[in-house]
Structure 1
Amino acid sequence: MSRPMRSEYAIYRGEDLLAMGTVTDCANKLGVSERYIYWLTSPTAQRRIATRKNPDKCIVGVSLNDDE
């Protein structure tokens, strides 16, 4: 039985990398909840950010282990 792969995430504000690692690592570094990190990578969050006047100033989450 193989171990499940731990997902890695990168959190950005514009071009600046704010945090990278597991959900727990990113949440601790930014001082937010793990649910917020998951939300940042959701399609809903991405749609909302795309409709903003300055999307390059928003915090964005990217899943690095996404096989989709």
Structure 2
Amino acid sequence: MTSRKIPRYLTAFGSTQSEIIVPVIELRSNRVLGTLDVESEQKVAFTAEDQAELEACARALLGLWQ
């Protein structure tokens, strides 16, 4: 099922074909503090390398919440 067929799915742009959401996690409590949400107009736009880079960005942003 594509996200467009899920009634509660909300996208920022009508042209979104792919989306990746990476949590910003507080390491000690394992609590989600926020998310990085990246959207693309291309189908299957994100690779494992993209995910790894976004996870590194999420770790770098963690300091903003501490």
The answer to whether TM tops 0.5 is no
Considering fraction of residues, name the structure with more helix.
1
* Greater Rg over alpha carbons, structure: 2
Provide TM-score, normalisation by structure 1: 0.29
The structure showing larger relative contact order (alpha-carbon pairs under 8 Å, at least 6 residues apart) is 1
